Amino acid sequence: MGYAQLVIGPAGSGKSTYCSSLYEHCVAARRTINIVNLDPAAENFDYPVAMDIRELISLEDVMEELGLGPNGGLMYCMENRVALAILFRHLEDNLDDWLEEELDNYLDDDYLVFDCPGQIELYSHVPVLKNFVEHLKRKNFNICAVYLLDSQFMSDVTKFISGCMACLSAMVQLELPHVNILSKMDLVTNKKDLEEFLDPEPTFLLSELNQRMGPQFAKLNKALIELVNNYSMVSFIPLDLRKERSIQYVLNQIDNCIQYGEDADVKVKDFDPEDDDE
């Protein structure tokens, strides 16, 4: 049986930085993981790339198909939905064959971390990533989706609910065990301002939302809070990449989700936010 993390989340949420820090942490702990790049637009990496989707498709390939010149071509491919559609279509048509060949290089108990692109379409309605997950399951991989949300979403209840909705959409689409991470905690100056949002009460969220929205949105606010609460996903693990114990705590949670190291009786210490402020 193989094990895998699918690292997803909006663009700029810190997915590649998380993968790099996780790799360094595991090297220091003498633990082997393999980082896979699934972003055709990626250019530079702070970790060794074990598998690279750019061997299958790159932005240069899209530029050539669209007849683009060098000036502004990269920006066009990053922002234009036609270019993204070509990328996704090519990935969907060829990903399984590429993945099948690449996975033959790994043993049954290998641990893979997939660094995914930030286009929200991949996690909401485009089927390519869902099909990718199904292929991994057929190869007998235990998989956990690791959803990163930038800590700025915790400073405002409306941004927080927006982030929760995007996260919930990914959960429904991918149908995987989910670990939600609040990233970039090292950039937060006052962590106490975020405590109420880490594991909030529905009544608190509804009250805050009603205060910020007009009275005509009261029923919508109530429905949104009930939806989030019913799926029991409003819980985020704060991650400070400067602190090894924070990285280890997140890794322990993910390992438990995918039953990695179950025979070794992995023990998880309760997370204490007060310790994290030291």
Domains of the chain by start residue, with CATH: 2-199+235-258 (3.40.50.300)
> pLDDT in tens for each of the 278 residues of the chain?
889 999 998 888 999 999 999 999 999 999 999 999 988 777 788 899 998 887 776 656 656 665 655 444 444 444 455 555 566 666 667 777 777 788 888 877 889 999 988 877 777 777 778 888 888 888 889 999 999 998 877 777 888 888 888 888 888 888 899 999 999 888 887 777 777 777 778 888 899 889 988 889 999 999 998 888 877 666 789 999 999 999 999 999 999 999 997 654 444 444 454 455 54
Other CB atoms within 10 A of residue 47 CB:
20
Alpha carbon 200 to chain centroid, angstroms: 21
- Which residue type, as a one-letter code, is found at position 46? D
The partner residues of 147 in beta bridges, in order of sequence, read 8, 180
- Number of residues written out for the chain: 278
Q: Which of 171, 196, 200, 176 is nearest to 258 (CA)?
A: 176
- Kindly state the greatest CA–CA separation across the chain: 58
What phi-psi label fits residue 199: left (phi over 0), alpha (psi between -120 and 50 degrees) or beta? beta
Contact 145, 6 (CB under 8 A): yes
**C-alpha span between 154 and 58 (Å, rounded):** 34
User: Which runs of consecutive H residues, i.e. helices, occur in 104-186?
Assistant: 121-124, 128-138, 157-174
Alpha carbon 156 to chain centroid, angstroms: 21
Contact 153, 14 (CB under 8 A): no
Contact 5, 254 (CB under 8 A): yes
